[in-house]
Amino acid sequence: MSHLVTERGTPAGPPPSPHDGGRGRLVEVVVPVYNEEHVLSASIERLHAYLADTFPYAFRITIADNASTDGTWTVARRLMERHPRVRALRLAEKGRGRALRHAWSTSDADVVAYMDVDLSTDLDAFLPLVAPLISGHSDLAIGSRLTRGSAVVRGPRREVISRCYNLLLRATLAAGFSDAQCGFKAARTEIVQALLPQVEDEEWFFDTELLLLAERNGLRIHEVPVDWVDDPDSRVDVLRTARDDLRGMARVGRRMVTGAFRAPVDGRDADGRGADRGRARLPAGMAHQLPAFAVIGVFSTLAQLVLFVLFRMVMGPLWANALSLVITAIGNTAANRRFTFGVTGPGRAFRQQLEGGLAFLIGLALSSGGLALLHAAAPGSSRTVEIVALVAANGTATLVRFLLMRAWIFHPRRLARGSGTAATAATAAPDARAAEETGGTVS
């Protein structure tokens, strides 16, 4: 359990007045930091000057130091002593989510927010971020780098990773927001304090889980397009974070399926139909497709492992993996075509097998790459270790294959535009109608 040390300056501004139209509301901006001694002072001075000069509401800046090992805490204390509207708290354990949880759960502000210490997001977006929360129009607000009107400067690697991550959220967990990872978010305090006990992650997946929980409970999430410039000094371990995010998505998905992903909030969607609608919402057709795909995937994986072991007796691991995947990929595509996506008849079957072959190539690259890395790192690995590595790589490949099948190969609109056979049209119609009824898209 974390040990929390908190130091406060003098109270931040006058108390709220019921006759001031909300202008006396208190907004708390949390800046989580870890070993940011070199940039902390300049960033907080810039943020404080901006808010003092332009922000129309009372504010407080909270520096949340989560277990820094350099001089970050010393700098934070100096800033607190210099500015009455700056406070600092120190945690004994790392984790951005942990720092935000502590700061937000103890806040007495009307609105809580957070931004990254590098201030990559243009501060002019901060008032548009919090204004709908103060007015009561929205419950949470996020800055988005992926919506129309945003201006982003960053390298292609992080751009691709960000877009793929948010695509995964929309395709697998029905996320309606566009950018889960932008370090520029705010929420009404009473709302976020009701959600926090149900948020399990303590690190980078924390705010994604918070947003998914809010949306699942029918809360309104306001998006603001932002100007954003990548910090070249960012020390985020992208691969480790991506792995943890995938684990978080799987955990949240299980909670959604079991009905455990709920919080004691009175949400309402834009159509006024309430939180129950948000809790029940899944992408059209997915309630049937996921179990069917999972069962077929289990049998395909077992078949592939058996074939791999047999072929491994007469050939190398990479060739054995490739050949076993080719055979099972054909059967997997045919089974998913019939049982997961309900497509019958010979129409376009050959083309769909070819398109399924592209998904197979992605699986081949992932699993073969995993085996190659295994043998490069640990030459002479046993068959058992090879199989474990293969199962791990195939898990990632399976998720990618499902998304490609659902969003491309067997997309209902694509099927309806295809050969026009009765079987295909009948299959496409129910999901298309379901998408229209829920106001969403089938993808």
How confident is residue 208, by pLDDT bands cut at 50, 70 and 90? very high
Give the integer Cα–Cα distance in Å for 293 and 340: 6
Q: What pLDDT score does 97 carry? A: 95
Cβ proximity of 41 and 79 under 8 Å = yes
Give the integer Cα–Cα distance in Å for 118 and 43: 7
How confident is residue 265, by pLDDT bands cut at 50, 70 and 90? confident
Q: How many CA atoms lie within 13 A of 304 on its CB side?
A: 31
**Bridge partners, 29 (sequence order):** 61, 113
Question: pLDDT digit string (tens) for 182-201?
Answer: 999 999 999 999 999 999 99
How would you class 334 by CB atoms within 10 Å of its CB: exposed for 0-12, middle for 13-18, buried for 19 or more?
A: middle
- From the list 110, 116, 201, 207, the catalytic residue is 207
On the question of pLDDT at 287 being above 70, the answer is no
Q: What pLDDT score does 284 carry? A: 61
Our answer to whether residue 269 is catalytic in this structure is no
**Bridge partners, 33 (sequence order):** 65
Choosing among 3.60.20.10, 3.90.550.10, 3.40.190.10, 3.40.50.720, the CATH entry for 4-280 is 3.90.550.10
Please give the DSSP secondary-structure letter assigned to residue 406.
Answer: I
- Domain extents for the chain? 4-280, 286-438
How confident is residue 213, by pLDDT bands cut at 50, 70 and 90? very high
Give the integer Cα–Cα distance in Å for 403 and 171: 7
Q: What pLDDT score does 3 carry? A: 39
Give the integer Cα–Cα distance in Å for 443 and 440: 9
Instruction: Give the torsion through C-alpha atoms of 434, 437, 441, 443, to 10 deg.
Output: -20
On the question of pLDDT at 157 being above 80, the answer is no
Instruction: Return all residues near 19 (Cβ < 8 A) that are at least 6 apart.
Output: none
Question: pLDDT digit string (tens) for 296-307?
Answer: 877 887 888 889
Give the integer Cα–Cα distance in Å for 106 and 13: 18
Helix (H, G, I), strand (E, B) or coil at 296: helix
On the question of pLDDT at 345 being above 70, the answer is yes
Instruction: Return all residues near 338 (Cβ < 8 A) that are at least 6 apart.
Output: 344
How confident is residue 133, by pLDDT bands cut at 50, 70 and 90? very high
Q: What pLDDT score does 391 carry? A: 66
Prediction pTM value: 0.63
First to last CA, the chain: 42
Q: What pLDDT score does 336 carry? A: 87
Q: What pLDDT score does 12 carry? A: 41
Query: Which of 125-134, 247-256, 416-425 is modeled with the greatest confidence?
Result: 125-134
Q: What pLDDT score does 59 carry? A: 97
Helix axis angle for 349-377 and 317-335, nearest 10°, is 150
Mean pLDDT of the chain: 80
On the question of pLDDT at 339 being above 90, the answer is no
Closest to 261 measured CA to CA, from 270, 243, 248, 245: 248
**Bridge partners, 221 (sequence order):** 140
Q: What is the largest CA-CA distance in the chain?
A: 83
Q: How many CA atoms lie within 13 A of 244 on its CB side?
A: 17
Q: What pLDDT score does 363 carry? A: 64
On the question of pLDDT at 4 being above 60, the answer is no
On the question of pLDDT at 276 being above 80, the answer is no
Pair of tokens at residue 273:
């139909």
Question: pLDDT digit string (tens) for 419-431?
Answer: 544 333 334 434 4
- Give the position of tokens 């990254």: 116
* Of the listed ranges 45-49, 105-109, 139-143, 418-422, the one predicted with least confidence: 418-422
How confident is residue 338, by pLDDT bands cut at 50, 70 and 90? confident
